Structure 1
C-alpha cells in the first residue's frame, strides 16, 4: 500500500508524527525525499504537495493519502474519506476589509474575490447566485485587498491573526476543514483490510488523546454505590474485588474535559487512592 503524505506545510510534521505514533516509521528515503520505505514491507510513503494528494489518490498513483478536506474539495476529487483526523483544522472564510461596504455575501455582486481555492470559490459564488470575478493567487491572499487587486478574499483561517494584521473581517464561513485519511476507491475494495488497519490505528490514537483512564479504591459497599453513581464511563465502570474483604477498585475511561469535575465528585463520594493515566489507543 502506498500512502501519499504532505512533503511540507502545516500538515507535514503532524502527519509524520501521527504515522510514527501508529507504528509506521519511514526508514529509507531517496535524497530528495520523494518516496520512502517504512518498517512495514507492505507500506511505502509518497511525499507530495498537499494540494496534489487528492489527484494522486484518485488516479491510483497512491492507494491512500493524508491531506486537508479543503484540498479534496478544491480538486473535487473522487476519493473515499476513510476518517477525519482532527488535526490541521482551519476554516475557509470569506473576508473583506474592515471599512468595506460588503456586509453579506449577496453584496459581492460585481466585486473581485482573490483566492488560492479557485474551484471552491467558484462553486460558492455559483451556489449563492453571485456573479463576481475570481482573482487566482498562489499565496499571501490576505494582501490582495490592500494591494487593490481584490475587494475580498476566500482563504483558509487557522487562528485569525493574519486577518487582524491585514484589517480584514469575516463575512461568511464556507466550511470547516481538517486533515483526512483518504483512499482510492478501487484500492479500498482490494485492500480493505490493510486500509482499515491503518484507519483503526489513527482513530485509536485520536480518541485516546481525549480520554483518561481513572482508577479509584473504595472501602465499603455503600461507598461503592456512591462512586459508581458519579463515575463516567464509555459503557459501565469496571468493579474489581480487592484482597481485603469489602473493598473494591473501580476503573473507568473518562473524557479529559470531564476529568477535574470527576475527581472532585469521586473524592466527595468517598473514593481514595485515585489514579489517572494517559492512554495509548482507544478503539471504539
Structure 2
C-alpha cells in the first residue's frame, strides 16, 4: 500500500482529486476522515495542511505527496520531486505600493518586507546583495504595507487581483510554481512499483490535456500539402475510401493551434472534419 499526502482543502485539493479521478483512482470524498483508502487501487490518501506535506514525506509518514513547488522549496525537506503536474500554477513575487517609483531591486535596500516565505525570499535577497528586514507573517500578507507593517510584500500571485485591490504593484517575479509530486527517498521496491503504475496513469491523463483527435476526408490531390501542415505526434493515419480520389486522414492536434490549422485544412479541400476530445493518451 502506497500512502499519498494531499492538501485537505483549497484549489490544490480540488485539482488533486480531479487528477486521481481522471486516473481512475477512486477516493471517498469524506474529508472528515484523516486517512482514506482507495477502493480500486493500492493507495491511501492522508489529508494534511499543505505546509505539513514536505515534512511528512521526508519523514516517511507519507510515501509520496502532492504539494505546491513553492511550499516544497520553502520547507527545504529531504524528498525527491518526481513529476511536475502542470496545475495550481502561481508565482512568488515582490510587490510594493503603486505610488512608489520602482527602478530596480535595489529599492528594497533598508526596507521591511512581509512574507510567509522567508527562506525563498532570503535566498533571493542574498543573491542580489540586498539588505532588507524580513518580517514573517501568516495570512493577509498583502495588507501589510497599507497598515504600516512593511514597505513591501513577498507573496503568492495568481491573477494579481488581490494586489490591485490592495493598491500594490508586482515588481519582481522571484519564482514560478506549480503542483509537484514528491516522494520519500527510501521507498521500497513494492511501493516504487505502485508509484510506477500510478505515474503511468497520471502521464496518460496529462498527455491528453489540450489535445483533440481529428478525422477528415481529404482529396488525394492535396494530401501531401495537408500532411505537411499537420503537427501530429507522428505521421497521420491515412485510410482509403470508396472514392479513389479521396482518403480519410486521422491525427492529433494541440488545441492551442487548432483553429489556425483547421482553417488551412479547409482551404486545401478537407471536408467532413470530425473533432473528438481525448481522455487518455499512452505514448
Write out per-residue CA displacement over residues 108-136 of structure 1, whole angstroms, 9 at most, x where no aligned residue.
12211100112112222222222221111
Which residue of 2 is the match for residue 22 of structure 1? 23
SS in 1 for 2:187: helix
Task: Identify the range of structure 1 (262-271 vs 140-149) with the bigger mean alpha-carbon deviation.
Answer: 262-271
Which residue of 2 is the match for residue 175 of structure 1? 175
Which residue of 1 is the match for residue 13 of structure 2? 12
Distance 1:232 1:82, change over 3 A: same
SS in 2 for 1:187: coil
- 1:85 offset after TM fit, Å? 1.2
Which residue of 1 is the match for residue 33 of structure 2? 33
Write out per-residue CA displacement over residues 75-106 of structure 1, whole angstroms, 9 at most, x where no aligned residue.
01222111111111111000111123553222
> d(CA) in 1 for partners of 2:96 and 2:189?
45
The alignment of Structure 1 onto Structure 2 pairs a total of residues equal to: 282
SS in 2 for 1:26: coil
User: Equivalences for 1:21-170 in 2 at 5 Å?
Assistant: 21-27=22-28, 32-170=32-170
SS in 2 for 1:185: coil
* 8 Å contact from structure 1 (residues 181, 199) kept in 2: no
Which residue of 2 is the match for residue 267 of structure 1? 266
* 8 Å contact from structure 1 (residues 217, 249) kept in 2: yes
- 1:181 offset after TM fit, Å? 1.2
> d(CA) in 1 for partners of 2:189 and 2:92?
32
> d(CA) in 1 for partners of 2:103 and 2:73?
26
- 1:140 offset after TM fit, Å? 0.4
> d(CA) in 2 for partners of 1:96 and 1:28?
40
* 8 Å contact from structure 1 (residues 241, 248) kept in 2: yes
> d(CA) in 2 for partners of 1:206 and 1:37?
24
> d(CA) in 2 for partners of 1:28 and 1:7?
11
- 1:262 offset after TM fit, Å? 1.5
- 1:177 offset after TM fit, Å? 0.5
Runs of 4+ off more than 6 Å: none
SS in 2 for 1:186: coil
- 1:47 offset after TM fit, Å? 0.4
Write out per-residue CA displacement over residues 222-263 of structure 1, whole angstroms, 9 at most, x where no aligned residue.
132232222221121111223444432111111101111121
Alignment TM-score, normalising by the size of structure 2: 0.93
Distance 1:272 1:147, change over 3 A: same
SS in 1 for 2:47: strand
* 8 Å contact from structure 1 (residues 212, 255) kept in 2: yes
> d(CA) in 2 for partners of 1:49 and 1:77?
15
2:210 counterpart of 1:249: no
> d(CA) in 2 for partners of 1:23 and 1:48?
22
Which residue of 1 is the match for residue 228 of structure 2? 229
> d(CA) in 2 for partners of 1:102 and 1:108?
9
Which residue of 2 is the match for residue 283 of structure 1? 282
> d(CA) in 1 for partners of 2:117 and 2:129?
18
* 8 Å contact from structure 2 (residues 108, 132) kept in 1: yes
> d(CA) in 2 for partners of 1:260 and 1:28?
38
Write out per-residue CA displacement over residues 157-208 of structure 1, whole angstroms, 9 at most, x where no aligned residue.
0000011111111221101100111111212766333212222322222231
* 8 Å contact from structure 2 (residues 27, 39) kept in 1: yes
